[in-house]
Amino acid sequence: MASISMTLVGGDALVRSMQQYLKRTQDKVETAKGITAFAIAADWKRNANLYIYDVPRRENAYKLTGRFRSSIRAERVAAYGGWTVHDGVEYGARLEFGFIGQDKLGRTYNQAGRPMLRKAIERNKDRYIKGLKTAIKFRG
């Protein structure tokens, strides 16, 4: 009994073209993520003092050292191929979300949250979406 076979050839140029397009698109997406991360960090830093100064003044209630503001940064995290925007202080979450209760030293707090990071993310969301759309449409 005779068998029939068919061999498909060609398409290599198409595959190469698609691989190049994917690489360029990935580069553009990475650029959009980085630009947005740095914009969020800058926005967060810029608004950090506005919220701190908004706190009613009480004697010895807080010190304005600039440590929180100067600790804010955007960094690329190669382990998962993304970017992170973070602060480098232990009290950053308290500033963002607030804190009610006693700390480990027994001091009682009723500290309202000051959502600086969340507001910075919200203000830069459209920048990120625009960057992604540009990356996908990129033809160069």
* Per-residue tens of pLDDT for the chain, all 140 residues: 677 777 777 788 888 888 888 888 888 888 889 999 999 999 998 887 655 555 555 544 455 567 888 889 999 998 877 899 999 888 888 888 988 999 888 989 888 888 889 999 999 999 899 988 888 875 55
| Partners of 85 in beta bridges | 74
pTM over 0.75: no
Confidence at residue 55, expressed as pLDDT on a 0 to 100 scale: 52
Confidence at residue 115, expressed as pLDDT on a 0 to 100 scale: 85
* Phi, psi (deg, nearest 5) at residue 127: -60, -45
Confidence at residue 1, expressed as pLDDT on a 0 to 100 scale: 66
The token pair that represents 33 in the structure block = 């993520």
Residue of 26, 29, 41, 22 lying closest to 130 (CA atoms): 29
Rounded Cα distance between 13 and 19, Å, is 10
